Amino acid sequence: MDDQVVQRVLQEGGRDFYQQQPSTSAASSSSPSILQSLPLHVSFDHGYYLLVKSIQELRSKKDGVVTIGIGGPIGSGKSSLSEKVASVIGCTVMSMDNYRTGVDDGHDLDSIDFDLLVQNLEDLINGRDTSTPLFDFQERRRIGSNVIKSISSGVVIVDGTYALHARLRSLLDIRVAVVGGVHFSLLSKVQYDIGESCSLDYLIDSIFPLFRKHIEPDLHHAQIRINNSFVSSFREPIYKIKCKSESQSGHAAYIFHGKEAQFDNFIEMYLRPPSASEEARINDWIKVRQSGIKYYLSLGDQRIVDKNYIIRPRAEFEVGRMTLGGLLALGYTVVVSYKRASTSVIDGNLSVSLETIDTLGETYLVLRGTSRKIVGTESSRMGITGPWITKSYLEMILEKQGVPRLNTPPLLSSVTPVTTQERLIAAPKPLRIAPNLVTRFEDLPQPWTRSPTKSKMEPVMATWHFIPPNPLLSDGYVTGPPSSRDNLQLAPMPDSYDLDRGLLLAVQAIQALLENKGLPVVVGIGGPSGSGKTSLARKMANIVGCEVISLESYYKTEQTKDFKYDDFSSLDLDLLSKNIDDIRNCRRTKVPVFDLETGARSGFKELEVSEDCGVVIFEGIYALHPDIRRRLDLWIAVVGGVHSHLISRVQRDKSRAGCFVSQNEIMMTVFPIFQQHIEPHLVEAHLKIRNDFDPVLSPESSLFVLKSNKQVAYQDILKILDSSKICSSVQNFIDIYLRLSGIPANGQLTEGDCIRVRICEGRFALLIREPIREGNFIIQPKVDFDISISTVAGLLNLGYQAVAYIEASACIYQDGKILIEIDHLQDVSSPYLQIKGVNKETVVAAGSTLKLDGSYTTKSYLEIILERLPAAERSSNGIHSQQAARLQELVEYIQSQGSSSASESSPSREASPLEGVIEEMQSRIKRLERWQAINTVLWTFLMSAFLGYSLYQRKRQ
């Protein structure tokens, strides 16, 4: 494997720094390049991470510009990758779309001005400013140029279908190929529609005629090969409401007054598959939108209608005219075509448009945005009250033409109830499925550039069916005589789905239940810790508008004090059952509120089923336990996520240490309760979701962090936050770092070799982070998740050793956009301030306002403490001798508690003499909390007085 990768990296035609200077230390075995250890094929998230790391390495070890080419077929995700890398590195992106020579199809090789593109790249490489073209696709011509300064172009990305062409490869340091995405999805869709009558190669030649001859050969020269499985997602959907504008003429003048409007004209066409009937099953149709000389394609009518909102995924990608012609030649027919003229005003993430549809002869007012709440608030502010239209333009046109629409959801199935044995065969266990990753080129049955995501083609979207209820469930529980709302049950989906498809199916299942059974619908989402249950529940709530209740709210205080957060006996099952029964019978009920800081119940909140809250989701690791799920309408199991990443991390560490341990052995050691008490219940789920999303490496959930030890006044911090939304809190935590023995550490303790476990507010949290340090920024993913004490004990039993210990307290201030954290580390005299946010510019602006420029550091707290520690006071592990003693006591307590928790056979156990250790630490934390609370109250009082006095003086003036 390594020889193949090295040969691929150093092959002829590259501009690799390591090829030009093979004698340097960078190419030596003692200091290998990341480019010489890249796997052949990686996921989109992993590829993004490797590309950023490769850019950083090359930039630090060579002078001049680092050039990257990102090539691949249309719809594979090239532009998305370029944008995400640019948001981190801050580089120049040169799109090959701007190098078109005219109105010809831009995906034709002859329509690209390679001479100018090569000249631009050579100018930047040689330190000269250059002028790149700008192309307007509406006007179908070049409209000017853009000057790029060589001094600001440390990294240049060429993004385009032909970015790895032979004329460019000699100018590129890093070559990246991206395949998959909507490109593969379209191939899968067409092959499913056509059937087995056409080979995959024939379909490729029909709808992507230039691919095999002019694009695919260049992709094999890539050093990083990314197989993008991402197709369409409701993770960040578009929320839309619309109404006729005939009664809103007064609002139109108000909308566009004094604002710059955008004018667009589209032709929208819908293509029906050749095997489809005359009825309008529009979910199977392909939509093509023509805008100027560009064509955009989306697969089917993937949308969700909830109340007044039309919710659509981001699922459109550009194609060429030849793709449209190829689809028509394969038997697709244009059944609906209309013109849409649009006048829009865009304000941030919200747009307001007037759209005229020629076929309907009507004009509609449309509000779109990425936040459902903002769209609804803006419509109310404008005084627009409907009547709202939830039908698409296509549906309205078909109704006008009198075309019958097939019923959705489908009619009741006459399938008899399946037996327990049949269920187990149809629904295999969702965990420990071998990862669908290609590691060897010769193992591929087809070239990697032409393989759809699955060898067996599937329909674009599965559909839900109902079956009559079975009084005796497979888990042995008798439900009793069916009530009026128990006459129907969902038939389980036979397959498992990724997170994006699973999210859509979950929402459609809720809608089918609402339509066929009525209110309320009670949903359970179960799965291991860190699998993505909470994230899925929140995204479902954003779309459907429902209540989400965590099973953590039902913890018993006497159980949680022993850190038993994965023990079923820690749940107050009686109260949970009463709440679910009250909800199912539309009675007002009181749901508990659990305070994680105190480890006790802090009160109750009232919940009542209504039209606005007709769906309630219970999420937790035991949400599908037989005692709970028999009261639920929809069972959803989620596996993967950080849970699987931890297992992979342990396997990687053991491999580095020269040991082999099976995944099953890791599961039994690190998650001892899961296999016995959680996993068996997931098999029975109506919907099984495998969360392949890698949050540790993903750019989707990253935080931009600036860290400084410069002293800042509290009043200055409060000034940069929104006073109407500001909230503050105090946290005290202990971090312990675990490293596997046997891993070579070169005499240094680094955070990258460790797994960090945080004890905070009576909880254990696992922090698996692989941050990217770029300039002043620490760019880190949000991947903290709670674990039980038995998981920490399991890591210790697998050979991990506690090698460092940090005790600290933090004051946190946030307003929803940025978070400012002041950390007081024990044995460090001055506190550290961290500014965190998902928007890089907002974080930079906050740091500049606080006058922190020039004082930033990207070092971790572990590095900071180790640097400050005198050699004479260090223990054998490299930490302070006194801390080493505390750490050893804490480790012994974890091992004793973890082993008793994992192998507990009776409800009672003897008190451990080491419990005093943790109690002493908790009492010390409580004292710190009281001191910090007093400090916060004093500062709040002083700031209130300061602001009041300022307002008083302003009024006097």
Q: Say if residue 574's pLDDT is above 90.
A: yes
> What is the tens place of the pLDDT at every residue in 451-473?
654 444 444 567 898 887 665 54
Q: Is residue 251 within 8 Å of 384, Cβ to Cβ?
A: yes
Q: Say if residue 475's pLDDT is above 60.
A: no
Instruction: Judge if pTM exceeds 0.85.
Output: no
> What is the tens place of the pLDDT at every residue in 122-154?
999 998 999 999 887 767 778 888 888 877 778
Higher-confidence position of 166 and 641: 166
Q: Domain for residue 453, yes or no? A: no
Separation of alpha carbons 362 and 356, rounded Å: 6
Q: Say if residue 916's pLDDT is above 80.
A: no
**Residue 418's pLDDT is what?**
38
Q: Domain for residue 18, yes or no? A: no
> What is the tens place of the pLDDT at every residue in 633-675?
999 999 988 888 888 888 888 888 888 888 888 888 888 888 7
Q: Say if residue 520's pLDDT is above 80.
A: yes
**Residue 251's pLDDT is what?**
56
Higher-confidence position of 392 and 142: 392
Q: Which of 665, 691, 717 marks a domain boundary?
A: 691
Q: Note the maximum CA span of the chain.
A: 88
Q: Domain for residue 392, yes or no? A: yes
Residues 220 and 275 in one domain: no
**Residue 923's pLDDT is what?**
55
Q: Is residue 834 within 8 Å of 856, Cβ to Cβ?
A: no
Q: Say if residue 285's pLDDT is above 50.
A: yes
Separation of alpha carbons 620 and 582, rounded Å: 20
H or E, element range at 143: strand 141-148
SS3 content of the chain, % helix, strand, coil (to 5): 35, 25, 35
Residues 655 and 726 in one domain: no
Q: Identify the CA nearest to 75 among candidates 183, 224, 150, 192.
A: 183
Q: Domain for residue 941, yes or no? A: no
**Residue 672's pLDDT is what?**
82
Q: Domain for residue 558, yes or no? A: yes
Residues 495 and 540 in one domain: yes
Q: Domain for residue 637, yes or no? A: yes
Dihedrals φ, ψ of 523, to 5°? -115, 140
Q: What is the mean pLDDT of residues 864-888?
A: 70
Residues 221 and 275 in one domain: no
First to last CA, the chain: 76
With a pLDDT cut of 70, the percent of the chain lying above it is: 75
Show Cβ contacts of residue 103 under 8 Å, excluding neighbours closer than 6 positions: 140, 141, 293
Separation of alpha carbons 72 and 74, rounded Å: 7
**Residue 440's pLDDT is what?**
38
Residues 741 and 866 in one domain: yes
Output the CA–CA distances (angstroms, integers) from residue 502 to 166, 431, 488, 618, 697, in the order listed: 41, 16, 22, 17, 21
**Residue 415's pLDDT is what?**
37
Residues 710 and 686 in one domain: no
Separation of alpha carbons 119 and 124, rounded Å: 9
* CATH code of the domain containing 859: 2.40.320.10
What 3-state class would DSSP assign to 190? helix
Q: Say if residue 723's pLDDT is above 90.
A: no
Residues 127 and 245 in one domain: no
Residues 656 and 734 in one domain: no
73 DSSP 8-state letter: S
Residues 277 and 342 in one domain: yes
Q: How many domains does the chain divide into?
A: 4
Average pLDDT, the chain: 78
Q: Domain for residue 436, yes or no? A: no
Separation of alpha carbons 563 and 596, rounded Å: 11
**Residue 43's pLDDT is what?**
84
Domain that holds residue 794: 702-897
11 pLDDT band, cuts 50/70/90, is very low
130: tokens are 């250059």
435 pLDDT band, cuts 50/70/90, is very low
Q: What is the mean pLDDT of residues 879-903?
A: 74
Residues 732 and 619 in one domain: no
228 DSSP 8-state letter: E
Q: Which of 228, 262, 289 marks a domain boundary?
A: 228
Q: What is the mean pLDDT of residues 514-542?
A: 90
Q: What is the mean pLDDT of residues 714-723?
A: 87
31: tokens are 């200091």
Q: Say if residue 953's pLDDT is above 70.
A: no
Q: Say if residue 304's pLDDT is above 70.
A: yes
Q: Which of 669, 691, 713 marks a domain boundary?
A: 691
Dihedrals φ, ψ of 112, to 5°? -100, 130
Q: Say if residue 20's pLDDT is above 70.
A: no
Residues 724 and 686 in one domain: no
The region of weakest confidence among 112-121, 745-754, 899-908 is: 899-908
872 pLDDT band, cuts 50/70/90, is low
Higher-confidence position of 581 and 879: 581
Got the DSSP string for 452-480? -S-SS---SS----EE---SB-TTS-B--
Q: Domain for residue 706, yes or no? A: yes
Residues 361 and 499 in one domain: no
Strands 466-467, 489-490: pairing kind: antiparallel
What 3-state class would DSSP assign to 557? helix
**Residue 946's pLDDT is what?**
60
739 DSSP 8-state letter: E
* CATH code of the domain containing 105: 3.40.50.300
